[in-house]
Amino acid sequence: MKLISRLALFVVFATFATCASAQPSMPDFSKWNKAVDHATSYVLKGKPVQVRDVHYEFINKEQTEAFQVIVFYNPDTSKAWFSVLIHHSLNKDSEANLYETDKNGTWVFVEDISNGNPESVLSKYGLVEVVK
């Protein structure tokens, strides 16, 4: 009986470990089309700031899919801060994932935001868009 319990525990652990390591990775968008590069006015910690965001696009006509990455840059350091990757496909539902950069500048998956809204992502980083 103990062998069966240990085997079941191992299967559960192995399944969890496999799922945890199967997080989506950020594709290399360095050769994608840069569609937009601008700054937007926000309030961050009670102060007005300009946050640069750059939009990159890639359309794969053979696979009938399109990708868009929006990279937000930290207004204090001008380094990449967080990004949203959007994947549209004719064959399945659209996906949206949130990524952050770690201390080495590597993109790290944060969460699936497919069912969220843009304001919730911005508020996660303390940003409130200034409406003109």
pLDDT (tens digit, 9 = 90+) per residue, 85-106?
999 998 888 999 999 999 999 9
Question: Would you say residue 12 has pLDDT above 50?
Answer: no
DSSP symbol at 90: S
d(C-alpha 20, C-alpha 95), whole Å: 18
pLDDT reading at 116 higher than 90? no
pLDDT of residue 11: 42
Is residue 109 within 8 Å of 97, Cβ to Cβ? yes
Predicted pLDDT at 8: 43
Confirm if 86 and 95 have CB atoms less than 8 A apart.
Answer: yes
Long-range contacts of 117-125 (CB under 8 A, 24+ apart): 121/82, 121/84, 122/42, 124/98, 125/72, 125/81, 125/82
Query: How far is it, in rounded angstroms, from Cα 102 to Cα 83?
Result: 12
Per the DSSP assignment, residues forming a β-bridge with 72 are: 53, 82
Predicted local confidence at residue 14, as pLDDT: 44
- The total of other beta-carbon atoms located within 10 Å of residue 86's CB is 17
pLDDT in tens, 17-55: 444 457 999 999 999 999 999 999 999 999 999 999 999
